[in-house]
Structure 1
Amino acid sequence: MASDRFTESAAADGTRLTDAEFRTWFAERREAHAFQVEEIPFARLDGWAFAPHRGLRHDSGRFFTVEGLQVRTDVPGTGSWMQPVINQPEIGVLGILVKEFDGVLHCLMQAKMEPGNVNQVQLSPTVQATRSNYLGVHRGRPVPYLNYFNEPGRGRVLVDSLQSEQGSWFFRKRNRNMVVEALDDVPEHPDFRWLSLGQVRRLLLADNVVNMNARTVLSCIPFGPPPASAGDDPWRDGLRRSLGPEGETGALLSRAEVLSRITAVKALRDVEQRLVPLEAVEGWHITDREIAHDEGRFFRIIAAAVNAGSREVASWTQPLLAPVGRGEAMLPVRRIGGVLHMLLQARTEAGTADVVELAPPVQYNPGNYRELPPNIRQLQAVDPSRTRYDALLSEEGGRFHRAVSRYRIVELPEEQPPAVPADHLWLTPGQVRDLLPYGRLVNIQARTLLACLHATW
């Protein structure tokens, strides 16, 4: 079974590259090309322009647009608001190519420069390409290894699902998340290296190394329970149980109950989303250098000039969304009957495609709140010694400028869980894993935290 092979790779060291050799190679790739990103006035954008009632868009009509969005919802404390949003309706490919070496599956990972990354080069999937990119709208070099993902028969498809991205900043954005096994020899490229899933998981423990696109694909991999080992501590044992049969028999909710709860929230929650002219967005202003909130909150839309010798196009200009401040995402977990459970919330965001998605109950930017909600204050007060994961991770560097969030997993005491609102659910990691093939059920922050949870093994 594919899940067994993924699980074995997650427990293995790489046979192609040691961790030390990876660090040397990764440092070399960061120094191999000259990268420069400069914030510029909108007037210097090449091929981009403001169009009346149509927003900021590319002359080709492809890539993405920055438009206005009006949202009305009955979520308590939210009401209605207007904001700019990135509208990118085309579906791109995020794909990891895998191949077996010495009996262990390895992932072909890329050292990739993106203009919005805080450290420019991060570890990315084999392929991350918009439809405009792989159709050659940018008139650049072909995307390496793309044929494994868009030519049937080139490889064995192991994972393939449509997943959403940041609902606060994108309007109904989806990408195809894929894992494909190569059936033939794969040509080498200096910016790519083969790593076991165990090596990639260890890199998830470090700040700003594994990029968002790699994390979302990793979260979609159907890992099974690793074998028990002598001296397993309760944390490891709870995670192991949660991914196996005990994750179903020991879950608080059955699969049918989980789907029913999510469907009920979707059916009962009132959400209206309407694209509007950018110039009509209330509470925001447009200058020659930015689109920004009148109170300096939330985010700015800026223009950037990029030079990157390692990319398909060596230089270009584009808009970027620059958040104001650092984000926070915290996942509370607890062992219930010895089985690990995650607390998730059915959350509505500005650009959510289907009313709600499951999200961490703590997902916010402190600068956007004058006073934090009580549930966030309560969880923020958890004893720091109970933290199981804590790292700074970058959001999508191709659209966001220096967008970094602190991701944490905090274990609550093992006891009967207190009652939670109807839009909150205690689910095992195995249950969340099994929801992912459906798409549009688990948001990008929760998927990142699921990938990070696996890394704590």
Structure 2
Amino acid sequence: MTTTAARPGLVSAHGRRTAERFTESALVTDGRLLPTERLDAWLAERAGVNRFAVQRVPFADLDGWRFAEDTGNLVHASGRFFSVEGLEVRTDFGRTPRWTQPIINQPEIGIVGILVKEFDGVLHCLMQAKMEPGNVNTLQLSPTVQATRSNYTRVHKGSAIPYLEHFVAPRAGAVLADSLQSEQGAWFLHKRNRNMVVETTEDVEVRDDFCWLTLGQIHELLRVDNLVNMDARTVLSGIPFARPDGPARAVAGDDPFRAALVESVGGRRGALHSTVEVLSWLVEAKSRHMVAQRRIPLRALEGWRCGDDVISHEADKYFQVVGVRVEASSREVSSWTQPLVAPVGHGISAFLTRRLDGVLHVLAQARAEAGTLDVVEVAPTVHCLPGNYRDVPAEERPPFLDHVLSVDRSRIRYEVLQSEEGGRFYHAQNRYQIIEADDLPLAEPPGYCWMTVAQLMSMLRLSNHLNVEARSLVACLQTLW
């Protein structure tokens, strides 16, 4: 992990540790710089002053993209950005031992980073109202910087990425969080981004489409459908928090779930397994399972059909590959074309939780996917596209899926429809849920483990331990203190 030494006094400002300062920011639900009551108007204003248009087009109309003669892979003329290729997977994980599918191959590490600064003693995050071509609602709240290496090295010959200088060496300021994290293993081959939080004490010009928000304000926005984008959620998940004590959360004592969550975040007592045992469980899963991935020509896929404007599975399940033409006046390049992956239906990503001796635990699974870099990652209790299992016998459906689909609504503590990465996926959405399941047996099925929020947070300081959906759910959990 790359870090930069802080200037004297920066991380320890006012005698507080980093986690405590982040927690204090999360307890401030209104901001002096942009009051919460003005957020909707600000977002509407940014959408109104910029021009956005996305249109589905045939593959033949993708400028600079072509199907390679030798492989049929969908590639860019520059040889950069990404390609859509074929992948053969052989595995002993799950019910299907072998399959082929299209996969996005983007062998470069991007940067997703949030710049933070203290105002009136409270940390604020510099967030961006950003358009992505695959967003269902065009404009969403994103990190300060969200850029692939091809973009920030300006292969597209567009304008420079604002605030990038804070996230690449040499930089001023202090790195408060920095790790390499995966993206969707079902659709990406070994894709990772550098997730960063950097603090500055310098004056920062607030450009158009950017604003300073407290973590408390962002947590409120995480309760709104399709507003805080995936890249923001994954960076937010890696922020360290201290136990959220204080009068602002005193009401948690009247709610056993919230009181148990506070204890779970604090990590002072009551974990069913030690952190060493949790890490050993994950290593055991990596050692026990096999995932063999082999890149193959796109034209060699079995069970997939390629038309003039869509690549799809013959069973009309899983996902498609489509082409789009984009106009966006606020982006580094104002117009372009590209392929996108379009899932068939909405997904579900859910954590089942239960209280153990007054400490909230979540049931996580070790899950392999087609493009996972290191066999398995920690994933939500349920993580799937339910439509893929509409004709599958109950005994072969994902564990706990039917429990989640039929749960009493009163047991759902968080439920928001969140978008996935709009730069590569077209209208991809998951229903993120956090569900009380105190009647769930304590016995852990093979491949599952009960762990505290503090243990999840400790794993997020490392690279490639939690998948992107689990990281999103960790960010959502932090809104429920």
Q: For 1:113-132, what aligned pairs fall within 5 Å after superposition?
A: 113-132=131-150
**Counterpart residue number, 1:243:** 265
CA deviation digits over 1:104-126, x for unaligned, max 9?
A: 00000000000000000000000
User: In the alignment, which residue of structure 2 is the partner of 1:234?
Assistant: 256
User: Is the Cα–Cα contact under 8 Å of residues 228 and 240 in structure 1 kept in the other structure?
Assistant: no
- Distance of 2:96 and 2:154 partners within structure 1: 41
Alignment partner of 1:393 out of 418, 421, 424: 418
Cα displacement string for residues 182-217 of structure 1 (whole angstroms, at most 9, x for unaligned residues): 121001212000000000000000100000000000
Q: Which moved more, 1:92-101 or 1:68-77?
A: 68-77
Q: Which residue of 1 aligns with 2:276?
A: 256
Code of the residue aligned with 2:314 in structure 1: it is: D
Report deviation, 1:389.
0.1
CA distance in 2, matches of 1:321, 1:269: 28
Describe the superposition over 1:71-103 as per-residue Cα deviations: whole angstroms up to 9, x where unpaired.
011124121100000011100000000010000
Corresponding position: 1:157 with 2:181: no
The equivalent of 1:214 in structure 2 is: 232
* Pairs within 5 Å for 1:59-74: 59-74=77-92
C-alpha distance in structure 2 between counterparts of 1:362 and 1:7, whole Å: 28
Q: Residue 4 of structure 1: which of 11, 20, 31 is its match?
A: 20
Structure 1: gaps spanning 5 or more residues: none
Which of the numbers 295, 298, 302 marks the counterpart of 2:322?
A: 302
Contact 2:36/2:217 (CA < 8 Å) preserved in 1? yes
Q: Which of 88, 94, 100 is the aligned partner of 2:112?
A: 94
What amino acid maps onto 2:158 in structure 1?
G
Partner of 1:24: 41
Aligned counterpart for 2:406 among listed residues 381, 388, 391: 381
CA drift at 1:228:
4.7
Report the CA distance between 1:382 and its aligned residue.
Answer: 2.4
Match of 1:316 in 2: 336
Q: How many angstroms apart in 2 are the aligned matches of 1:430 and 1:317?
A: 43
- Whether the 8 Å contact between 2:267 and 2:452 is mirrored in structure 1 is no
| Aligned-pair CA distance for 1:234 | 1.3
The one-letter code sitting in structure 1 at the alignment partner of 2:21 is R
Output the amino acid matched with 1:406.
R
Match for residue 266 of structure 1 among 286, 309, 320: 286
Letter in 2 for 1:55: N
Matched residue SS, 1:445: helix
Separation of aligned partners in 2, 1:357 and 1:64: 23
1:26-41 aligned at under 5 Å gives the runs 26-41=43-58
Q: In the alignment, which of 413, 421, 426 is matched to residue 450 of structure 2?
A: 426
- Structure 1 match to 2:96: 78
Deviation track 1:231-287 (CA, whole Å, cap 9, x = no partner) reads 4221221111112243xx311111111111111111111211111000001000111
Which secondary structure state, in structure 2, belongs to the residue aligned with residue 349 of structure 1? Answer: coil
The aligned counterpart of 1:456 is 480
Please give the alpha-carbon distance, in whole angstroms, between the structure 1 residues aligned to 2:37 and 2:179.
33
Q: How do residues 325-340 of structure 1 correspond to structure 2 at under 5 angstroms?
A: 325-340=345-360
**Which one of 161, 182, 200 corresponds to residue 182 of structure 1?**
200
Counterpart-to-counterpart distance in 2, 1:375 and 1:405: 17
Name which of 398, 408, 411 aligns with 2:436.
411
Kindly state the Cα deviation for residue 381 of structure 1 after the two structures are TM-superposed: 2.6
Does the 8 A contact of 2:270 with 2:359 survive in 1?
Answer: yes
Counterpart AA for 1:166: Q
What is the CA-CA distance between 1:421 and the residue it aligns to? Answer: 1.8
One-letter amino acid of the counterpart of residue 238, structure 2: C
1:30 is displaced (CA, Å) by 1.1
Instruction: Give the aligned length.
Output: 454
1:288 matched to 2:308? The reply is: yes
Answer whether contact 1:228 1:237 (CA < 8 A) is retained: no
- Whole-angstrom distance in 1 between the partners of 2:67 and 2:42: 42
Q: What is the identity, as a one-letter code, of the residue corresponding to 1:26?
A: L
* Cα displacement string for residues 362-411 of structure 1 (whole angstroms, at most 9, x for unaligned residues): 11112211235153113333221011000100000000001111111101
- Structure 1 counterpart of 2:388: 368
Partner Cα separation in structure 2 for residue 416 and residue 277 of structure 1: 45
Give 3-state SS (helix, strand or coil) of 2:234's partner: helix
Question: SS of 2:53's equivalent?
Answer: strand
CA distance in 2, matches of 1:82, 1:265: 23
Question: How far apart are 1:416 and its partner, in Å?
Answer: 8.0
How far residue 152 of structure 1 moved from its aligned partner, in angstroms, is: 2.2
Q: Distance in 1 between matches of 2:47 and 2:94?
A: 46
Which secondary structure state, in structure 2, belongs to the residue aligned with residue 21 of structure 1?
helix
Letter in 1 for 2:471: R
Letter in 1 for 2:43: F
Give the aligned residue type for 1:421.
P
Q: Is the 8 A contact 2:306 2:312 kept in 1?
A: yes
1:440 aligned partner, one-letter code:
N
Does the aligned pair in 2 maintain the 1:336–1:416 contact within 8 Å? no
CA deviation map 1:326-364 (0-9, x unaligned): 111111011100001010000010001000001012111
**Partner residue in 2 for 1:439:** 463
Name which of 20, 35, 45 aligns with 2:62: 45
C-alpha contact 2:34 2:212 (8 A) present in aligned 1: yes
